Amino acid sequence: MSDERRAVEDARTPEPSPDAEPLVQARRWRRLVGRLALAGSLLWVSLAFGLDRYGQSRPEPQGQWDAIVVLGCRVYPDGRASVALSRRVKAAAELYAAGRAETIVLTGGTGDSGHVEAEVAAEIAESLGVPRSALVLETRSTSTEENAEFAAGLIEGRRVVVVTDAYHVLRSERVFARFFDEVSMVGTVSPRWWPRSRGALREVLAIAGYALRGRL
């Protein structure tokens, strides 16, 4: 391009208005924030997926253990157990029938429904053939850490199998390891993708909270 033509082109290109500069900067910041939000969302989903996969990959417990511990879960206002709680108790009953332990510890205090989770779980366990004499009810806990702490205070044994949802396995494993000598995890899996995905996404935040407070 000749010098004359370049001069003409430069003359045609308007100089940016000083008033437009803040708008340009604002657009750049919005694009940056949007990209960061997208990256953060993808990371969040990836971590949630990884938690669920981790819980499913745990090896099945073998041999004899001191107890099977079922972590509490939601109970509806009418007293019905949530699908997740029923699934956890069923898995524990199967482990009991397989001879993995002679005791099942059912954890969970009074939730928002006004019902004690451990008591509702006990009804399910008995309906599945587990004798009442094999059940130990922990009825005060309202968190994963309290599940572990209060369960440890109810039994003498220090080798336990812990049953919870797959996405909850990693945090539970780390917390229970602080109160028991040996922990084997069993992660149950919901066939419904939305409750499972929602629970896994919340679990990412719960793990972050526990890590920041030094509870893992």
> Does the pLDDT value for residue 18 go beyond 70?
no
Decide: 195 and 86 in contact? Cβ < 8 Å: no
CA dist 114 and 204 (Å) reads 27
Dihedral sign, Cα of residue 13, residue 18, residue 21, residue 23: negative
CA dist 197 and 190 (Å) reads 10
Superfamily for domain range 56-212: HUPs (3.40.50.620)
Q: What is the DSSP string of 80-123?
A: PBPHHHHHHHHHHHHHHHTTS-S-EEEE--B-TTSSBHHHHHHH
Q: Which of 5-9, 88-92, 112-116 has the highest mean pLDDT?
A: 88-92
CA dist 85 and 108 (Å) reads 10
Mean pLDDT of 57-81: 96
Mean pLDDT of 5-18: 54
Max Cα distance, the chain (Å) = 99
CA dist 120 and 102 (Å) reads 20
55, HSE (Cβ side, Cα atoms, 13 Å): 27
Q: Closest Cα to residue 165, out of 99, 82, 67?
A: 82
Q: Render pLDDT for 102-159 as a digit per residue (tens, 0 to 9).
A: 999 999 999 888 999 999 999 999 999 999 999 999 999 999 999 999 999 999 999 9
Phi-psi region of 192 (alpha: psi -120 to 50; beta: other; left: phi over 0): beta
CA dist 62 and 30 (Å) reads 54
Looking at per-residue confidence, does 214 or 64 come out higher? Answer: 64
Decide: 179 and 149 in contact? Cβ < 8 Å: yes
Please state whether beta strands 159-165 and 182-188 pair in parallel, antiparallel, or not at all (unpaired): parallel
- Give me the residue spans of the domains in the chain: 56-212
Apex 146 CA angle, 84 and 159, nearest 5? 85
- Per-residue pLDDT band at 215 (split at 50, 70, 90): confident
Mean pLDDT of 195-203: 93
